[in-house]
Amino acid sequence: MKINRRDTVKYGVLTIAGCAMAGFGGQLKKYSADNFTGIRPPGAVEENSFQHLCIKCGQCVQVCPYHAVSLKDITAGIDIGTPAIYPELRGCYLCDLLPCVLACPSGALNHEISDAHDVKMAEITVSNKENCFGLTNITVSEENVLKIAAHGVKSPVEKELVEKLKLTIGQQCKICSDFCPYPEKEQAVKFIETDNGYYPEIQQKCAGCGVCIELCPAGNVFSYKKI
Ligand code: SF4
Ligand code: SF4
Ligand code: SF4
């Protein structure tokens, strides 16, 4: 193949652009991995496959009655446009039939998963048990509930959630267990009794939905790691 002067310049420019893109892509990947926060919606396949399969259509966002799912913004690098749940703002309430999974057209959310028992979204840890109201002997306040209500009360299920939370005002807090959406709650979280009170312990069947993280009025008792 004969390459003339014009081609040399053209290929040179393309090579430089290609290298720049590769470098940029590398940076984006690193940026994304280093800054990953939040968890994927229920039924998400393994992360590499998820990134290939998700077409960023936002169907899972549209159908979530708790407004728990949002699409990542530009700060997420190459993850931009993919769905995430941020448990500090709103956990996943493991709705019947998992509508987000049903709505996903691409298989990024695995259609074989249709039940809370099959869901594993994150590893939840009790990282600051000493802050639990069960040990500090603090009762749930109106302010605590208002803070959670600020996460959103647009849909009927969100309104119902806040109404149920209001019933805890003035009570000893057991919110993380009482509001855990796993069908057999005691297999997901249970309380350990001590001479000074009680604190939660995460159990094997915990779905990693993040509801306890969202609702805990003490704020930082739990932490999570995406799986
Ligand atoms: S519905 Fe599926 S393909 Fe669409 S954004 Fe959600 S996970 Fe991605
Ligand atoms: S929600 Fe659970 S961990 Fe948080 S203060 Fe209440 S009992 Fe303690
Ligand atoms: S303990 Fe319950 S509320 Fe907390 S993440 Fe696990 S399943 Fe969800």
Write out the two tokens for 161. 């959630």
User: Which ligand 1 atom is at minimum distance from the Cα of 107?
Assistant: 2
Each residue's pLDDT tens digit, 118-137: 999 999 999 999 999 999 99
- Cβ of 106 less than 6 Å from ligand 1: yes
Q: Burial level of 190, CB count in 10 A (0-12/13-18/19+)? A: middle
Give the pLDDT band (50/70/90) at residue 166: very high
150 and 220 in contact (C-beta within 8 Å)? no
Looking at residue 20, its pLDDT comes to: 39
- Cβ of 209 less than 6 Å from ligand 3: yes
Closest ligand relative to 42 C-alpha = 1
Each residue's pLDDT tens digit, 181-219: 999 999 999 999 999 999 999 999 999 999 999 999 998
Average predicted confidence (pLDDT) for the chain:
87
Looking at residue 13, its pLDDT comes to: 39
Alpha-carbon span 79 to 18, nearest angstrom:
21
- Helix 156-166 to helix 142-149 angle (10° resolution) is 170
Looking at residue 125, its pLDDT comes to: 97
Alpha-carbon span 122 to 40, nearest angstrom:
9
- Cβ of 215 less than 6 Å from ligand 3: no
Mean pLDDT of 11-19: 38
Fold that domain 38-118 belongs to in CATH: Alpha-Beta Plaits (3.30.70)
Give the pLDDT band (50/70/90) at residue 22: very low
- Cβ of 116 less than 6 Å from ligand 3: no
Give the pLDDT band (50/70/90) at residue 25: very low
Alpha-carbon span 168 to 171, nearest angstrom:
5
121 and 209 in contact (C-beta within 8 Å)? yes
Phi/psi of residue 199, each to 5°? Answer: -150, 160
Question: In the predicted model, is pLDDT for residue 17 greater than 50?
Answer: no
Burial 2-38 (b: 16+ CB within 10 A, else e): eeeeeeeeeeeeeeeeeeeeeeeeeebeeebeeeeeb
Q: Burial level of 177, CB count in 10 A (0-12/13-18/19+)? A: middle
The residue whose CA has the least distance to atom 2 of ligand 1 is 104
Each residue's pLDDT tens digit, 79-103: 899 999 999 999 999 999 999 999 9
